[in-house]
Amino acid sequence: MTRALRSLATYVVFAVGILGILALLFAWNFPPFNFADTRTDDAYIRGQVTRLSPQLSAIVADVPVQDFQKVKKGDLLVQLDDRIYSRQLAEADAAVRVASNALESNMQAQETAKAQIEAASADVASAEAVLANATSQWERIHKLSKKQVASESSLETSRATLDQAKASLAKANAALDVARQSLKSTIIDRETLKARLASAEAARTLARINLENTRIIAPRDGTLGQVQVHSGQYVSAGSQLVSLVPQNVWVIANYKETQLPGMRVGQKVSFTVDALDGERFSGHIERFSPAAGSEFAVIKADNATGNFTKVSQRVPVRIAIDPDQKDMDKLIPGLSVVATVETEKG
């Protein structure tokens, strides 16, 4: 009986030893468990977390959302006090109306100047006709006077009429010049008034944008993080108010450079999520990083001097998650995953 127990114990120890060795081989992906699959636990779920900040400095009027609330694109998240900006928009509207009226008045002034030019031109033509007639009369009486047919008083009268006609023509020409200068001035003023109107409209657009910026709205569907603002609080432009986590997520897996041979875009990937008790999901390789992760570090390692120890570099690989899987809504940015690339089936 004792011999049998000893034999059984020997077999048990041997079996446990074999199982332990097999477990180590499996864990380290050594033969005979080095399938074409490539595995890493240096992988995380990622998403474009948007940190929302105001473009204006103001007092918070209302915060109609709560921590971790689901929101839709366009939902109001934070309302800033808009009284100042509403007043600025009203003033900008008034400035646009004033500039527009000034431009309209200028157009009417141009029409008036054109009418004055036409009237002055008619006066010039009339004065020229009168001058021509006065000149003809004076020449006729002057000839008769030389023949002593016309009296001296008639000659003086015709000369006075001629001088008056010349003066009237000069006056008409002067009035025409004034009308032309007036038209020229209104045309020049019109360009200035156009510029003023454009400036007023630009100021109104800016005022409208500022008023719209008092409403912090959700840029896309998603879930809010912790709301870091409350009513009555003064916030500065650029200060973080709340974070928005989108529904679209993916996996970034950092593979060793020695694991990359045989991997390519489109290969199937399976991954488990630590936070979901190892629940398995599927996806595929979407793209590879253009450089190893160390190349993106702020301070890079300098191996030009001193002792050198070779360290296997890691290359980030983006993995797209297949849609319509169970518990997809539980995949949130930051969770750790274990990703396995099925290179044998790629």
Least confident of 227-241, 294-308, 310-324: 294-308
Asked if the model's pLDDT at residue 320 lies above 80, the reply is yes
Residues 6+ apart with CB under 8 A from 308: none
8-42 pLDDT per residue, tens: 677 777 777 787 776 666 655 555 555 555 889 99
- The answer to whether the beta carbons of residues 317 and 40 sit under 8 Å apart is no
% the chain with pLDDT above 70: 81
% the chain with pLDDT above 90: 47
Domains of the chain plus CATH, in order, are 33-48+248-345 (2.40.30.170), 58-80+215-243 (2.40.50.100), 83-212 (1.10.287.620)
Asked if the model's pLDDT at residue 140 lies above 50, the reply is yes
Least confident of 39-43, 129-133, 217-221: 129-133
pLDDT of residue 345: 43
Longest dimension (CA), the chain: 181
- The answer to whether the beta carbons of residues 117 and 173 sit under 8 Å apart is no
Cα 121–Cα 123–Cα 128 angle in degrees, nearest 5? 95
For residue 279, report the phi and psi dihedrals to the nearest 5 degrees: -60, 140
The residue assigned the tokens 């939902």 is: 75
Q: Give the residues across from 38 on adjacent strands.
A: 341
What's the per-residue H, E or C state across 88-140? Answer: HHHHHHHHHHHHHHHHHHHHHHHHHHHHHHHHHHHHHHHHHHHHHHHHHHHHH
235-263 pLDDT per residue, tens: 999 999 999 998 889 999 999 988 888 89
Kind of pairing between the strands at 242-246 and 50-52: antiparallel
